């Protein structure tokens, strides 16, 4: 549910249609959660960046990195699709 919420917020930030509707939202959300956690881990490890808003979490899922990761994944997926029906 948290991954779907993060993907929904990502569609508000980047207004594009998600291919695959609900299944696409789940995949983009889960991939965004993974990318966000990986990215914040990299920032903490290499550059010692540790802001308090990066630690906000629901059920152990960091919310802000997950939303940012979902937005990045949504942008990349919709940019690489060549079909006009996915563009808004």
**Predicted model pTM:** 0.83
Q: What is the pLDDT of residue 37?
A: 92
Residue with tokens 């549910």: 1
Question: Under DSSP, is residue 58 helix (H, G, I), strand (E, B) or coil?
Answer: strand
Mean pLDDT of 64-78: 92
Q: How far is CA 59 from the centre of its chain?
A: 17
pLDDT of residue 74: 92
Mean of all residue pLDDT scores within the chain: 86
Q: N- to C-terminal Cα distance for the chain?
A: 25
Separation CA 1–CA 54 (nearest Å): 20
Distance CA 12, CA 3 (A): 14
Distances (CA, A) of 87 to 7, 14, 15, 39: 17, 11, 9, 27
Among 10-24, 25-39, 45-59, which range has the highest average pLDDT? 25-39
Residue 44: per-residue pLDDT: 87
């Amino acid at each position: 549910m948290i991954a779907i919420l993060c993907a929904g917020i990502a569609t508000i930030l980047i207004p594009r249609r998600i291919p695959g509707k609900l299944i696409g939202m789940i995949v983009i959300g889960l991939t965004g959660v993974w990318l966000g956690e990986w990215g914040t881990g990299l920032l903490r490890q290499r550059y010692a960046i540790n802001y308090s808003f990066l630690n906000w979490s629901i059920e152990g899922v960091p919310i802000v990195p997950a939303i940012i990761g979902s937005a990045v994944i949504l942008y990349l997926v919709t940019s690489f699709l060549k079909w006009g029906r996915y563009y808004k």
